[in-house]
Structure 1
Amino acid sequence: MSLGITVRGLDIPDSVRAPLTEDDVAARLVGKDATLWGPDAESESAIRLGWLDLPASSRELVSQLADLRAELTGEGLDRVVLCGMGGSSLAPEVICRTAGVPLVVLDTTDPGQVAAAMADLDRTVVVVSSKSGGTVETDSQRRAFVQAFADAGLDEKEIGRRFVVVTDPGSPLSETAAAMGARAVFLADPNVGGRYSALSAFGLVPSALAGADVGTLLDEAEELAGTLAQPDNSALELGVAMGAAFRAGRDKLALADGGSGIVGFGDWAEQLIAESTGKQGRGILPVVLESVDAPGASGSDVLLAVVGPDAPATEPAIGVTGPLGAQFLGWEYATAVAGRVLGINPFDQPNVTESKENTQRILSEGLPDERPAATIGAIEVYGSGGVLDGVDLSSHDGVVLAVDALLASIPPRGYLAVMAYLDREKDATAENLRAALARRAEKAVTFGWGPRFLHSTGQYHKGGPQVGAYLQLTGAIAQDLPVPDQAYSFATLQAAQAGGDRKALADRDRPVLHLHLTDRAAGLGQLLSALT
């Protein structure tokens, strides 16, 4: 496979392409022209274009990380756990899964999943990644690992040397890292936003320590970077295709793998596109598909994007071929271009803090006292936004009737978001709901694990077009886990995050169906059996 990326299947009207050519957008973007997205975006854009330099500027990390990995493995520390959310976790997960090297990614507050990550402590090093340093999930996970190492008999100095920290200069986490005596601290470029940070220390540090070849990743990106000032470069074409599709009414971008050899790329691209474009009542909704012919690959409001050489199964569609490093840089560039076409700022995320603030309020005031509308088998049924009005929940088909009522509430050109606050390892069958519901709804259906989707599609849910309906899944906790030196546990934090997000959606009068699984395995089995 050649370096760079190739985009095929394009049919773009001159009305979209010509203004970009006339305005020399390709060269101006490479030149970091912050005026490309209008005066309202200029101040933010001026401090968010450092990602364009990363293929070259990150090169100095390669040898440093090789030395650190050798040092760690020489001490028997060959198991890497990454504590991070959103842009801090999604790229390393793709890099390591594609490379076939083990990396434990902890981007959850589910107590069972957190507890499982704290296995094999005698050979574990923990990478704590956060730009702001104040992310509640990551801070809670760090506290839990510190306590676990202490319980295993390590002294304070030994505990510190089990941590590697990636953060922005001057962040609270950088101060915490110094205080705890972290083995290594990598300060990332503050002019790179989280979702554009795949080729920065946030993407490279955990990946290299886990054994991935990050030097080759940078080679792949650098080859593409040399073409990006050209007016007809492939990444620009990808961005123009996304923007043109949006203007033509195809505001859902279905993402599928087509033999790329890259594992999990859609989850990374989902955050990049949703959080960058979903604002001001508009946006491109990425829909990650299980395959090129999965439900949701076609529709009057859908553009299919196939990553890899396989031919798309439907029209209209585009194909994007190239190695992972080039794909990272190419999609970042394309998303910035699409932002120009949509007329939005692709570098801010004005609605992300809303659910966080709701969560903090619930943690300080206590969980709300909610009563289910019905309990059917292992599922408690709750609803808001009028979704259960007139629904008979008394029959054994009550859950199906409730789900069908939610699907009926999806407006034309709308979508359903499935949001699972569960353990994505032990409760993995929940992902099968996406395809089942897409077949049933015949509309766009997304799936996200909570709370990680709050750092991804969560921005689109609140800031994008208000045409969504929402299915939230929560589950009973078999064994809770305390968050050291905090007044709440992981179970309470997880419940508060789910409740905070429900409130953010309810405040927008969006239909929300909340299904609480009193027994996770039984409840998921019951739900999947009823819908398939």
Structure 2
Amino acid sequence: MTTQTESTYPAGVNLLAKAIQSQLEKLKEINFVERFNQRDVTLWTENKDDQEEVAHRLGWLDAAENGGQTVKEAEKLLKEVLSEGFTHAVVIGMGGSSLAPEVYSQFITTHGEEQKNYLVLSILDSTSPEQILSLQKRIPIDKTLFIVSSKSGTTVEVKTLFAYFWEQVSQVDAKGAGKHFIAISDPNTQLQKLAVEKGFRKAFEADPNVGGRYSALIAFGLVPAVLAGYDGEKLLKQSLSLSSMPISINDAGVQLGVVLGAAYASGRDKLTLLADAPVESMGSWIEQLVAESSGKEGKGILPVDVEPLLSMEDYSTDRLIVYLRADGHFDERVSELTASNQPVFTCRMPELYDLAAEFYRWEVATSVACILMGVNAFNQPNVQESKDIAKQMLGVLKAGDDLEITEPLWQDETLALYGESAHKHVSAQAYLKDFILQGKSGDYIALNAFIERNEDNEIKLEELRKSLTRATHLPTTLGFGPRFLHSTGQLHKGGENNGLYIVISQDEAQTLDIPGEGISFNNLIFAQALGDTQALESHNRRVMRMHFAINSFNKTQLTDLFRL
């Protein structure tokens, strides 16, 4: 006779069999299935105020069922703009408003399906002047539709990026600027009012009962997906294949959630994502969903995304590997990992429209894992901290005053280091070595880079990640700011204090003013880097900020700086 664990859970996670059985028993004890299907908010929190918020955050369970009208309106919009000669679309958004559209955009390209009616979709979720200008060079402004997307309608990055591109569009189409913009936001937000005031072509109202990171299958995700060429009805149908049925203990999402919970209970809190190229973009979306949902109250599951391939001995024993499998490219590596006593769970996604069901599976899984961990999956109590500090700094700059910045530990003409050290050193290498060697088993190293997210910078930082893991055997993560503040930022401040944070900032070569604000994007991204650093320090995190002079980051061999 086989146990439920043996019969329904894949062999790759046999290492976790006892922990899985324990988590299944826990779900049975709390009458999980019945309570989940009744949407019992006490599954996630006993706090009365928090329960009210959770009650208004479960709309994602009905997203596929309720999405038909949004799809129809998006299809009508696509037909309209194509007939007027539009060729491109840009999502201006952060976090949940940008990550799902990014997945949709990259998925449809990498799966190689023939597209007939679509706009070339790009995502802008950065305040880096270089990244803004780089995108601007790639698009024909007069044939581009800008999707201004913000749940709250007040996101600072979205407001400032809109102001910039409104001015750019107005220079080529002063009277018809509004037709180049649509809005996606909750009802009655400042953004909805702005859309009316400025004469936007269209304003979509998103379901207010869905949190940002769970919004892949409502307007924030569906509208960009349809504009990028997806059959919206087919997306909804694929999601309904899972979401239309009541949750059971053998549900695909529950199964994955139990594995996440079992791994966490076993000390494996580093969710290492291994993804075939066609589905690699899914990792950033999973990263936000899992980190922001679970990373609070001193707990958290840390997603490790787009990690360089390592030698088997460099994979620490605090990991759960999840393989996002499309074409089987990493089948051999998965066999090696399993043979090295690493638990591996495989999610199979061979077809383009499997994406919709996979979104839903991960949403269920994350909510289940949070129940097992004893945290509220639907709040983000620490996200605002970095934003508030940055806002205060911008107020200082707008007033014409200088920011107060602590004295550097070390500096030369290209680099300054900011942080704390018990020793005086004569080189940057010595300070950085001291900092990294604070790491111990169970820790991780986070690279928080407030610079342009481009291929060269990604390659450079991935090389550093590999070098650091090889030297320390610690997992590493990479986040580009301010994008990651809306993703892993919650876990960095609210999760377990087991991170070593390297914040990278720089003096930008080009100055790019924010229309009507009296400051530049240079000021904004620098304030965001400082704000994140100070927020981490306020939680007694171990932080080192590296600030590079103009053009110095590109010329610096980072692996030489971190000789351990």
TM over 0.5: yes
Find the counterpart in structure 2 of residue 64 from structure 1: 73
CA offset at residue 33 of structure 1? Answer: 2.1
Find the counterpart in structure 2 of residue 21 from structure 1: 28
Partners of 1:38 and 1:506 in 2: CA distance: 28
Partners of 1:326 and 1:292 in 2: CA distance: 28
Tell me which of 267, 272, 277 is aligned to 2:294.
Answer: 277
Partners of 2:199 and 2:343 in 1: CA distance: 54
Count of residue pairs brought into register by the alignment: 518
Partners of 1:287 and 1:402 in 2: CA distance: 26
SS of corresponding position for 1:509: coil
Read off the aligned partner of 2:101 and give its amino acid letter.
P
Change (3 A) 1:294 1:26: farther
Whether 2:113 is the aligned partner of 1:84: answer no
Structure 1 residues 413-446: Cα deviation after superposition (integer angstroms, max 9, x where no partner): 1211100000112633343132232222211211
* Superposed counterparts of 1:36-435, under 5 Å: 36-40=43-47, 41-100=50-109, 102-119=120-137, 120-152=140-172, 154-156=173-175, 158-227=176-245, 229-258=247-276, 261-290=278-307, 293=310, 298-308=315-325, 310-311=330-331, 312=334, 313-314=336-337, 315-322=342-349, 323-366=354-397, 367-376=403-412, 378=414, 380-384=415-419, 386=420, 388-392=421-425, 394=426, 398-425=427-454, 427-432=457-462, 433-435=464-466
Change (3 A) 1:239 1:297: farther
Find the counterpart in structure 2 of residue 484 from structure 1: 515
Partners of 2:213 and 2:295 in 1: CA distance: 14
Decide whether the 8 Å contact of 2:270 with 2:318 is kept in 1: yes
Partners of 2:190 and 2:9 in 1: CA distance: 41
SS of corresponding position for 1:161: helix
Unaligned runs of 5+ in 1: none
Decide whether the 8 Å contact of 1:383 with 1:513 is kept in 2: yes
Whether 2:40 is the aligned partner of 1:9: answer no
Partners of 1:84 and 1:297 in 2: CA distance: 36
Partners of 2:409 and 2:225 in 1: CA distance: 46
Partners of 2:10 and 2:388 in 1: CA distance: 41
Partners of 1:521 and 1:429 in 2: CA distance: 16
CA offset at residue 375 of structure 1? Answer: 3.3
Read off the aligned partner of 1:336 and give its amino acid letter.
S
Decide whether the 8 Å contact of 2:469 with 2:475 is kept in 1: yes
SS of corresponding position for 2:284: helix
Decide whether the 8 Å contact of 1:400 with 1:530 is kept in 2: yes
Decide whether the 8 Å contact of 2:270 with 2:303 is kept in 1: yes
Change (3 A) 1:254 1:349: same
Read off the aligned partner of 1:72 and give its amino acid letter.
V
Structure 1 residues 208-240: Cα deviation after superposition (integer angstroms, max 9, x where no partner): 212233333222211122445222112101001
Find the counterpart in structure 1 of residue 3 from structure 2: none
Change (3 A) 1:295 1:113: farther
Decide whether the 8 Å contact of 1:276 with 1:346 is kept in 2: yes
Partners of 1:399 and 1:228 in 2: CA distance: 57
SS of corresponding position for 1:303: strand
Change (3 A) 1:512 1:106: same
Read off the aligned partner of 2:12 and give its amino acid letter.
G
TM-score using structure 1 length: 0.92
Read off the aligned partner of 2:73 and give its amino acid letter.
Q
Partners of 1:299 and 1:18 in 2: CA distance: 28
Whether 2:541 is the aligned partner of 1:510: answer yes
Change (3 A) 1:199 1:391: farther
Read off the aligned partner of 1:421 and give its amino acid letter.
F
CA offset at residue 359 of structure 1? Answer: 0.4
Decide whether the 8 Å contact of 1:58 with 1:200 is kept in 2: yes
Find the counterpart in structure 1 of residue 116 from structure 2: none
Partners of 1:147 and 1:84 in 2: CA distance: 18
Read off the aligned partner of 1:317 and give its amino acid letter.
V
CA offset at residue 362 of structure 1? Answer: 0.8
SS of corresponding position for 2:158: helix
Decide whether the 8 Å contact of 1:6 with 1:234 is kept in 2: no
Find the counterpart in structure 2 of residue 437 from structure 1: 468
Read off the aligned partner of 2:447 and give its amino acid letter.
V
Structure 1 residues 119-157: Cα deviation after superposition (integer angstroms, max 9, x where no partner): 4211111000000011000000000011111222x224x
Partners of 1:6 and 1:111 in 2: CA distance: 48
Partners of 2:498 and 2:411 in 1: CA distance: 28
Change (3 A) 1:438 1:132: same
Partners of 1:237 and 1:279 in 2: CA distance: 23
Read off the aligned partner of 1:283 and give its amino acid letter.
G
Structure 1 residues 298-350: Cα deviation after superposition (integer angstroms, max 9, x where no partner): 32211111111554241222112232111110001000000100001000000
Read off the aligned partner of 2:423 and give its amino acid letter.
G
CA offset at residue 524 of structure 1? Answer: 5.4
Change (3 A) 1:399 1:362: same
Read off the aligned partner of 1:21 and give its amino acid letter.
K
TM-score using structure 2 length: 0.87
CA offset at residue 377 of structure 1? Answer: 6.6
Read off the aligned partner of 1:479 and give its amino acid letter.
Q
Partners of 1:7 and 1:31 in 2: CA distance: 29
